Chain A
Amino acid sequence: MEKTWNNKAWFMVLPVLVLVAFSAVIPLMTVVNYSVQDTFGGNQFFWAGSEWFEEMLHSDRFWAAMGRNLIFSAIILTIQIPLGIFIALNMPRKGWGVPVCLVLMALPLLIPWNVVGTIWQVFGRIDIGLLGYTLHALGFDYNYVNDPFDAWVTIILMDVWHWTSLVVLLCYAGLVSIPDAFYQAAKIDGASRWAVFRYIQLPKMQRVLLIAVLLRFMDSFMIYTEPFVVTGGGPGNSTTFLSIDLVKMAVGQFDLGPAAAMSIIYFLIVLLLSWVFYTVMTNYDVEK
């Protein structure tokens, strides 16, 4: 039977397109407009051409923040993806433990970002925070306010605490969808625990892992609220990520032109890396 082609389904996505136009396209167009102009307020703009882009591309401050962002995302993915898989593999599949584990896992995801930041800001304090005080009492020279390494450890721990649950829940959803017959066949064949993971569980989790990697990459690369609340980008600039730097530039210094140019470069890099991740992982899936 010949397949009927028509494009009427596009009308179904029209409401979403209108919403996206107002929430994303119009702001993006405005940012592009600002990126080639200079302003001192009062809706008065002066043409600057590609000046802000050149300034950003030659800015050490920009590239340092970019480097921090890339390192942060790499560390987050390296920790959260294996840890999420490990926890999901060890969660119960039957009985009363299932709802308990699911609720416990979902809890960190329900807490707003700024509250997470505040929790960890207090948690890490050496005078009243459980983590900071305990580490100090044990003889560790921990102080996230003064030490860049400690600040990084705190932010990474906070992100792991906040977002590993997402990876766990996605992986768990992939694991529970595997029919028992697969495990029975593996048992008959005498497959080891590793072989079951490698040839049954991992392939079945691949689609949800793709979503997990993409979401965690994009979110960690655009992280703002939590580190801003905990360290404010310090000590020095050691935890100043691109988003924090962007807000400092746009809101703090009112340099709307350079901030808009930085936003566009930032956006293009997120878009490129997300496309690469998505393409590599979906095509690996197709090849399999």
Chain B
Amino acid sequence: MDFSWMAWTLPTAAFFITIFLMLVGMGVWEYFSPGGNPRVGILRFETTRGDRLFVSLLGAAFIHLAWLGMIGPNLWWALALAVVYAIGVFRFV
């Protein structure tokens, strides 16, 4: 099958592989520690680890967009900020 119309590039493939590995990792985590580890964090409502991944990924997307819109095209610092944000979400939300 010819998938050239999907216009794959190495960076976008790496991006989707990372997302896929995160989902696999969440699946493995769920297998060994079922139930999703629900808890009430600083947002004052219950979140599971799936919710926390969703909030992390969505937040990371907006951090990158904000960086691009307000600072510039060098996104490595935005990536670092997004990782720190994700750690914060998994720790405190």
Contacts and interface: CB of A to CB of B under 8 A. Distances in A.
Contact of B45 (A49, A275, A286): A286
A33 B11 CA distance: 9
Interface in B17-41: 30-31, 34-35
Interface residues of B, number: 26
Given A33-B12, A279-B45, A50 B6 contact: no
Contacts of B54: 275
Contact of B7 (A33, A54, A57): A33
Interface string B59-89: 0011001001100010100000000000000
Interface in A240-284: 265, 268, 271-272, 275, 279, 283
Contacts, number: 62
Contact of B4 (A43, A275, A279, A283): A43
B15 interface: yes
B65 A32 contact: no
A72 interface: no
Contact of B73 (A30, A49, A283): A49
5 contacts: A30-B7, A36-B11, A47-B9, A50-B75, A279-B45
Interface of A: 5, 7, 26, 29-30, 32-34, 36-37, 39, 43, 45, 47, 49-51, 53-54, 57-58, 265, 268, 271-272, 275, 279, 283, 286
